[in-house]
Amino acid sequence: MNPLTPMDWRLLNEFQHHLPLVPDPYRVMAEQLGIPEAEVLDRLHRLTVEGVISRVGAVLQAGQVGASTLAAMAVPPPDVERVAAIVSRFPEVNHNYERDHAINVWFVITAASQERLRGIVEQIAIQSGITVLTMPMLQAYHIDLGFSFH
């Protein structure tokens, strides 16, 4: 990974919470940063490829659009990579990660409907051969997932 430049830091800090909600957000970002739009796009692409950021897009409040659940699986350690790959094939899955615990593969599924959500859970269980535990949200507590980049 290349070191982040001062402009990379500005891009991450200034638009982490305030992505312009306009038809051409990258042009507006470029104007605010004083750089060409193509450079904004190139920087975001590079930061994604290098794993600094995972995506650029809206984060919607859980339960307001579609259906979502936290899910987890108890995967034998030799099978973690295989099962994680199965889980990650579904575009509705995000935050797929491993924990040091008997229930060790955790992820969030966000789908257009409860029916689609159940179908994804079922397909992951069938394809992996492992039961998927689902833990739908009961009570929301706001946590700002933003970071201050220096």
The boundaries of the domain holding residue 121 are 67-135
Would residue 72 count as lying in a domain?
yes
Mean pLDDT of 124-128: 98
DSSP H or E run through 109: strand 105-111
Identify the pLDDT of residue 137.
Answer: 84
Q: What is the pLDDT of residues 6-52, one digit of tens each?
A: 999 999 988 887 888 899 999 999 999 999 999 999 999 999 999 88
Same domain, 38 and 72: no
- Token pair, residue 109, equals 């599924």
Would residue 119 count as lying in a domain?
yes
Identify the pLDDT of residue 150.
Answer: 58
Measured distance CA(54)–CA(68) in Å, rounded: 19
Residues 73, 104, 110, 70, CA torsion sign = positive
Give the model's confidence band at 124: pLDDT under 50 very low, under 70 low, under 90 confident, else very high: very high
* The total number of structural domains that make up the chain: 2
Same domain, 87 and 34: no
Which positions ≥6 away from 63 have C-beta within 8 Å?
137, 140
Give the predicted TM-score (pTM) of the model. 0.62
150 vs 123: which has the higher pLDDT: 123
- CATH code of 127's domain: 3.30.70.3460
Q: What is the pLDDT of residues 41-98, one digit of tens each?
A: 999 999 999 988 887 877 666 566 788 999 999 999 999 999 999 999 999 998 899 9
Same domain, 39 and 75: no
- In the chain, DSSP finds a helix count (H) and a strand count (E) of 5, 4
- ∠67-72-77 over CA atoms, to 5°? 150
